Amino acid sequence: MASDNVLIVGGGPAGLEAARLLSDIGVKVTLVEKRPFLGGTPIAERYAALTHGFHDAETMMNGMIEAVTNNSLVDVRLNSSVTASEGEAGSFKVTLAQAGSGSSEVVEAGAVIIATGFQHFDPGRETQVYSYYEYPDVITIADAEGMLKDGHFRKPSNGEIPERVCFIQCVGSRDRQIGNEYCSKVCCGISSKQAIEVRKVSPETKVFIFYIDMRMYGYWENELYWPAQEKHRVQYVKGIVTEIVKKGDRLMIRGEDTTMGRPMEVPMDIVVLAVGMEASHGTRQMAQTFGVKQNKYHFIDVPHDALNPVATSVPGIFVAGAAAGPKDLDDSIGMAGTAAIKAAGLVRKMAMA
Amino acid sequence: MGLFVDKYPDVAYEEKLRLWEEVKADERFPSYLYGCYECGICVAACPSARFYDFSPRKIAQAAAREDIELIYEQMNDDVWNCSQCFSCNRCPRQNSPGGLITILREVAVNNGLKSAQQALEGYSRIVYKIMGTGTQVSPDMLQPDAFPDWGPDVKRVSDELDLWRRALPPETLHTTKTGWHVSEQTLIELYLIWYNTGVMDMIANVDEGLNLILSDVMEEMLEEAGYDMDEYY
C-alpha cells in the first residue's frame, strides 16, 4: 500500500524548506530532527549574519521554523533519530527512536528526503601546525560566528580588542594529506563576511585573509569580496600559513607572502581558521540506515549531479543541502525545492497507480 | 631594506610614514587604487617589467597593504623603472599602478629625495629643451653628446641620421625647420602654467642649476610681456 507521506530527515535550512514547500502543495510531511530544536547548523552553531545577504541568522531561521511548526501537514519529531528503514519507493517503513524515552515507532513514507547536512572540519586533524586546541586565540569561523552574534570580537585569552586578526583559508579543504581534496565552497565568502563584521565592530582592528585562491563566484564577488577589500580595507594576502607559534601574548604566523615572493613572519592577536565542510555524523549514519551510496568523502553520492542534484543511489530517496557535499545556503534551499517536488511527484504517482 | 642601503639613505619610520601620508592625501589616490586580485594583468602588459626587476602589481599591493618600509624602497627605486605608458590601466579592478607611480614620483621630487635627483639627472637637457622651447625634441637636435639617457648607440645613429630616417620613414619627417616653433603667446602661457602649478618648484627640488637657467629664459620673456615676476618668488 503506497504512502502519501514524505519523511524528511534533518531540520536545518534544507529540511525546513522542503517541509514548508511540501505542505504548501498539500503533501503530508514527517520532519525528523535529532536535536531538541529546529534550525540546524545556523542555530546550533549560533551564526551571526547569513552569507550572503547579511541578514540576522536567528531571525531568518525562525521564519523558516514558524512555517513548519503549528502546521497541520507537518509532523515535527524532535529528539528523534531514524534507526531502521525497509521497503521501496512508494512504501518505505521507517523506524524512529526518541532520545531518552526508549520508545520507537514505525512511520510510513512514500518518499524520503535526507537533509542531514555537514559538520565543520575538526582543526585538530589539520596537518599544518595551527594548535587550535592549545592556543585560545586560535579559533574557527564557527567560533567567530558566536562572538560576532554576541556583538563583539575580542581575544578569548584576555578579552582585549585585537590589534591584528587574520583568517587562514582552506583549513581541512583541498588537502590530499587530510583526504579532503574538494573545495568547501563557502569559506571564502564566510571569511570575507566575517572580516567585514570584525571591521565594523572594531574599526581599529587590522584584518588579513591568507588564501590560495579566493573562490567568490557570482555575486559574492561584488557583494562580499570587493567591499571587504575596497570599503573595509581588509588585506588579502596570497599565501597560506603553515605554523602558528605563541610569542608572549600574541601569535606569530609563518607563511609565504607569494605576491612579494618572500617568507613572512608576522604577529597576530586572533587567528581564525576557515574550516571547511565534512559529512556530518547524521549524514554518514543516514546513508547507512537508508542504504544509499556515499562518495569517498562520506557525503551522500549523487549519481547524476549536473542535471539531477537531488537523486541518490536508491529510488524514492532524495538528498538536499550539504548532506550531498559542500553547499551554500542558496544551493541548499534550491535543492530542497527540487527534492520536495520530486518527492511529491513520486507519492502522487504511486497513489494514482 | 638591506639591498638598498648603499643606494639611498635609510630614514626614520616616521619620515617614511610622512611621505606615504603625502601620497595618500593626493586627490587622485582613491581613483588609482581600489583592490588587487594579484591577477598579473598589469605586469603582463608592462613593457618595463620585461627589462627590469619591476612589477606594477607590487606597487599596487604595497600601497593596498600600506607597507611603509616597502613603499619607501619603491619610492626610491622601482618607481623610476616605469615608463609611464599606463598599459597597466587595463586592470580589471580599474586600479592604475602607473598613476600611483606618478604620485609616488611627485612626492619623491617634492621632498627632494636624492634618488629622484639621481634618476632625473640624465633628463636635464631634454627638460631644458622642451620647457625652454615649449615643444618637442626634434630628431635633428640629436647629437652624440646631447642626451646621455638616449644610450650608447646615439653616436652611430646621429652620424647617418638623415639616412636612417629615410630608410625607416616615420609618418612625417619633421625637423626644427618644419612647423616646429610655437608662437610666443603659447610659450608665455606655458611658462605661466609651469610657474603657477609648481612645476618650477619641482625642478628646483631635483636640479637647482636647471631651474636657474630655465628661469633666466622664462623670466626674460615674461617680463618683456609685462608680467611681474616678483609675484612668483
How do strand A138-140 and strand A270-275 relate by DSSP bridges? parallel
Q: Which chain A residue shows the shortest CA-CA distance from B31?
A: A230
Those residues with Cβ within 8 angstroms of residue A283's Cβ, 6 or more apart along the chain or in another chain = A114, A116, A117, A118, A298, A299, A300, A323
- The domain total for chain B is 1
Instruction: Classify domain A122-276 at the CATH superfamily level.
Output: FAD/NAD(P)-binding domain (3.50.50.60)
Q: Is residue B104 part of a domain?
A: yes
Q: Do the chains contact at B64 and A226, CB–CB below 8 Å?
A: no
Q: Do the chains contact at A235 and B65, CB–CB below 8 Å?
A: yes
CA pair distance A264, A148, nearest whole angstrom: 29
Residue A260 touches partner B, C-beta closer than 8 Å: yes
B20: domain CATH number is 1.10.1060.10
CB-nearest partner of A230 from B35, B58, B61: B35
Of A142-146, A167-171, A194-198, A256-260, the one with minimum mean pLDDT is: A256-260
Give the pLDDT of residue B3: 45
Ramachandran region, residue A116 (left: φ > 0; alpha: ψ -120 to 50; beta: rest): alpha
Here the cell at position B102 is 606618478
CB-nearest partner of B58 from A214, A230, A260: A260
Give domain limits for chain A.
Answer: 5-117+280-352, 122-276
Taking only the tens of pLDDT, chain B with its 233 residues reads: 444 446 788 999 999 999 999 999 999 999 999 999 888 999 999 999 998 899 999 999 999 999 999 999 999 999 999 999 999 999 999 999 999 999 999 999 999 999 999 998 888 888 998 999 998 877 777 776 666 666 777 778 778 888 888 887 776 777 788 777 889 999 999 999 999 999 999 999 999 999 999 999 999 999 999 998 877 66
Q: Is residue B211 part of a domain?
A: no
Q: Which chain B residue shows the shortest CA-CA distance from A208?
A: B65
Instruction: Classify domain A5-117+280-352 at the CATH superfamily level.
Output: FAD/NAD(P)-binding domain (3.50.50.60)
Residue A222 touches partner B, C-beta closer than 8 Å: no
Q: Is residue B149 part of a domain?
A: no
Range of the domain at B100: 13-111
Q: Which residues of B touch A214 (CB under 8 A)?
A: 37
Q: Is residue B182 part of a domain?
A: no
A141-170 residues touching B, CB cutoff 8 A:
none
Give the pLDDT of residue B4: 47
Most A CBs within 10 Å: which of B1, B29, B38, B70, as the mutation test of the A interface? B38
**What's the whole-model pTM score?**
0.85
Q: Which has the closest alpha carbon to A77: A4, A24, A5?
A: A5
Q: How high does pLDDT run on average in chain A?
A: 96
Contact A16, A64 (CB under 8 A): yes
Residue A206 touches partner B, C-beta closer than 8 Å: no
pLDDT (tens digit, 9 = 90+) per residue, A123-157? Answer: 999 989 999 999 999 999 999 999 999 999 999 99
Q: Do the chains contact at B58 and A259, CB–CB below 8 Å?
A: yes
Give the pLDDT of residue B163: 85
Q: Which has the closest alpha carbon to A318: A347, A353, A350?
A: A347
Partners of residue A164 on adjacent β-strands: A206
Q: Which residues of B touch A260 (CB under 8 A)?
A: 58, 61-62, 70
